[in-house]
Amino acid sequence: MFKVAVIGSGPAAFYTAQHLLKSRSNVSIHMFEKLATPFGLVRFGIAADHQDAKKVANKFDELATHYQKEGRFQFVGGVEVVGSEDADAVANASLSQRRLPFSLLRKNYDVVIAAYGAESAKTMPLKQGRAVSAHDFVQWVNGHPDSIGHSDMFAHHLEAETAVVVGHGNVALDVARVLLDDVDSLRRTDVPDNVLQVLAESKVRHVRLVARRGPFQMAFTAKELREMTKLPNASYMPNELLSSEPYKSSDSLPWLDRSPKRLMQILHGSGDAKAIKSKSWALDWYLSPHQILQDENTKSIKAIQFQKTSPVSSVVPFGSKIELVPNEFVDMPCGLVISSLGYTGLPLPNCSEDLPFDARSGVIPNIQGRVIDPATKAPIEGLYASGWIKRGAVGVIAATMYDAVETADSILADLETAKPDASKQGFAGIQAHLGGKAVSYDGWKVLDEHERKEGAKRGKLREKVVDLKSAMRIIDMGDK
Ligand SMILES: Cc1cc2nc3c(=O)[nH]c(=O)nc-3n(C[C@H](O)[C@H](O)[C@H](O)COP(=O)(O)OP(=O)(O)OC[C@H]3O[C@@H](n4cnc5c(N)ncnc54)[C@H](O)[C@@H]3O)c2cc1C
């Protein structure tokens, strides 16, 4: 049997595992996850009002249950894989989360797959002031353990009437929707009760989504933008830039790609000035964030200052680099600034040499999923990458699936000429290190059932246990 260790348990981990387990009967997989719960951004990223997209977790559950019964799959939750030299952290690891040196995985498994996502928010450089990050907002709404205690902070932020969200991608739209939509639309989902309470008291009435580049560079998907224009209680306020050339006649521009044309059609067909709704939202372009301005007495945010920019050429198709000329500064009054500039990958904590990392692009250097030595470009035997940490933090789950299949195909091709290494002990080689503290898949199912039951009492899908220690306690009690 080939022993395979996967770091992470998001879509990339599950799709890679699925392809390997289905393709070969002599592969067994251990999936190491730092949190007590599986499924990565399916649980903690995808918006709560997109429950259909979250249903992919049911497929992963079927896979785990099936192959666990066969004895070829094991979930190892509450175990963070870290750098080999992080001995102090390993020794001091809390009872609710164990740390496992990467070198132990390499020593005990034939194949190690890094599928640990790209979890860090890109920061917005500002001369003065700090924006709230969309990453933190999304984690809070989704009940991520790192957001424990954040409700007071967000209650304070949501006292603002106008919020500016910097960024024109789908996550920015997710944030704007949560800020503007009626909180009742979230009550039956899995948004934690204390978050719903804060959202219900939010004073935000107007959201401006701002980007440094122009309308043809928007990175929204058509489905999400259309959904935004149809919010029942928030009007879209068209920006007059869209009434000028070349944006006005975007449909007939021969050099413009299909994707921005579609987005422009949606915007041109939206915005009913007569509809009176209690909230509103708008899009702004060619504004580069400069600094956040505070009220001198109250220290609360009163505006964000942008530097206006203009494109050198109006012929700038979607996805291409755009050259901008800086112009004058302009203040946009608001009480809250949220930066949504995307995510980036990080190396494993304290893992500098064993697992190569390209800090510039935020990914593990690889060729079709085979991790390569950055100096020689040669593949490192038995080491692979999959998902966002392999290709960068872009793409929906379908894209992550294709990417995972590519990695699995590389592994399968390499296994054709390999033999299982008898010296690799697999889980037996690391068990002593974990001290029996990891969360099994059955343990996760205990927590899952607990959350569903608590949710049912409240008429919602689930009530998430946000605190990792509490989650571990529930698992420990039920897993006996
Ligand atoms: C806010 C947001 C909303 C999105 N909405 C949608 C949507 O509506 N529809 C859609 O199709 N796609 C959506 N996506 C994209 C989708 O979530 C990604 O394509 C997908 O999750 C990437 O999968 P992954 O497995 O590479 O990473 P992740 O899903 O991030 O999984 C990585 C896993 O690794 C774990 N991990 C990290 N470090 C370690 C470590 N050291 N040791 C052990 N485990 C570790 C993490 O806890 C996590 O569970 C969204 C993304 C974001 C950020």
**Six-digit token pair at 203?**
């004073």
Among positive and negative, which fits the CA dihedral 20, 25, 27, 31? positive
343 lines ligand 1 (CB under 6 A): yes
Reported confidence tier of residue 396, pLDDT bands at 50, 70, 90: very high
Q: Which amino acid is at 302?
A: K
- 282: β partners: 208, 237
Query: What is the atom index within ligand 1 of the atom nearest the CA of 12?
Result: 25
Query: At 68, which helix (H) or strand (E)?
Result: helix 56-69
Domains of the chain: 2-119+345-439 (3.40.50.720), 121-342 (3.50.50.60)
Picking from 387, 365, 360, 371, the residue whose alpha carbon sits closest to that of residue 117 is 387
Helices in 323-467 by DSSP H: which ranges?
Answer: 388-391, 397-416, 431-434, 441-457
CA 269/CA 229 separation, integer angstroms: 9
Helices in 252-329 by DSSP H: which ranges?
Answer: 258-268
Q: Are 57 and 46 in contact (CB under 8 A)?
A: no
Average pLDDT over residues 464-480: 87
The predicted pLDDT at position 253 comes to 83
Q: Which amino acid is at 160?
A: A
Ligand 1 mean position, distance from CA 302 (Å): 34
Q: How far does CA 470 lie from the centroid of its chain?
A: 24
From 9, 14, 32, 46, mutation site for ligand 1 pocket: most ligand atoms within 8 A of C-beta: 46
Average pLDDT over residues 364-390: 97
pLDDT digits (tens, 9 = 90+) for 154-166: 999 999 999 999 9
Q: Are 190 and 462 in contact (CB under 8 A)?
A: yes
CA 437/CA 468 separation, integer angstroms: 13
pLDDT digits (tens, 9 = 90+) for 288-313: 999 999 999 988 999 999 999 988 87
The predicted pLDDT at position 437 comes to 78
Residue for token pair 């949606």 = 266
Q: What phi and psi values does residue 416 have, to the nearest 5 degrees? A: -55, -40
Would you say residue 42 has pLDDT above 50?
yes
Would you say residue 444 has pLDDT above 90?
yes
On whether 169 is known to bind a ligand per the annotation, the reply is yes
CA 411/CA 370 separation, integer angstroms: 8
Average pLDDT over residues 204-225: 95
455 lines ligand 1 (CB under 6 A): no
The predicted pLDDT at position 216 comes to 92
CA 288/CA 309 separation, integer angstroms: 7
Reported confidence tier of residue 273, pLDDT bands at 50, 70, 90: low
Would you say residue 87 has pLDDT above 60?
no
Query: What is the atom index within ligand 1 of the atom nearest the CA of 119?
Result: 30
Reported confidence tier of residue 274, pLDDT bands at 50, 70, 90: low
Beta-carbon neighbour count of residue 378 at 10 Å? Answer: 10
The predicted pLDDT at position 95 comes to 47
The predicted pLDDT at position 92 comes to 52
Average pLDDT over residues 447-456: 97
- Mean pLDDT over each residue of the chain, to the nearest integer: 92
Burial 314-335, CB ≥16 within 10 A → b, else e:
eebeeeeebebeeeeeeebebb
CA 324/CA 312 separation, integer angstroms: 6
Average pLDDT over residues 242-258: 87
The predicted pLDDT at position 478 comes to 82
From 14, 18, 34, 41, mutation site for ligand 1 pocket: most ligand atoms within 8 A of C-beta: 41
Q: What phi and psi values does residue 77 have, to the nearest 5 degrees? A: -90, 165
Average pLDDT over residues 242-249: 90
On whether 33 is known to bind a ligand per the annotation, the reply is yes
User: Closest residue (by CA) to atom 7 of ligand 1?
Assistant: 46
Average pLDDT over residues 375-396: 96
The mean-pLDDT minimum among 85-89, 96-100, 349-353 falls in: 85-89
CA 454/CA 143 separation, integer angstroms: 15
On whether 462 is known to bind a ligand per the annotation, the reply is no
Among positive and negative, which fits the CA dihedral 330, 335, 341, 347? positive
The predicted pLDDT at position 88 comes to 54
Reported confidence tier of residue 352, pLDDT bands at 50, 70, 90: low
11 lines ligand 1 (CB under 6 A): yes
- What CA dihedral angle connects 286, 288, 261 and 276, to 10 degrees? -80
Q: Are 465 and 447 in contact (CB under 8 A)?
A: yes
**Six-digit token pair at 128?**
């003065």
The predicted pLDDT at position 252 comes to 82
pLDDT digits (tens, 9 = 90+) for 114-159: 999 999 999 999 999 999 999 999 999 999 999 998 999 999 999 9
Query: At 336, which helix (H) or strand (E)?
Result: strand 336-339
Residue-wise DSSP of 140-199: HHTT-GGGTT-HHHHHHHTT-SEEEEE--BHHHHHHHHHHHS-GGGGTTTT--HHHHHHH
The predicted pLDDT at position 277 comes to 83
Q: Are 339 and 133 in contact (CB under 8 A)?
A: yes
Query: What is the atom index within ligand 1 of the atom nearest the CA of 8?
Result: 34
Radius of gyration of the chain (CA): 24
Would you say residue 218 has pLDDT above 60?
yes
pLDDT digits (tens, 9 = 90+) for 90-112: 555 554 568 899 999 999 999 99
Q: Which amino acid is at 317?
A: P
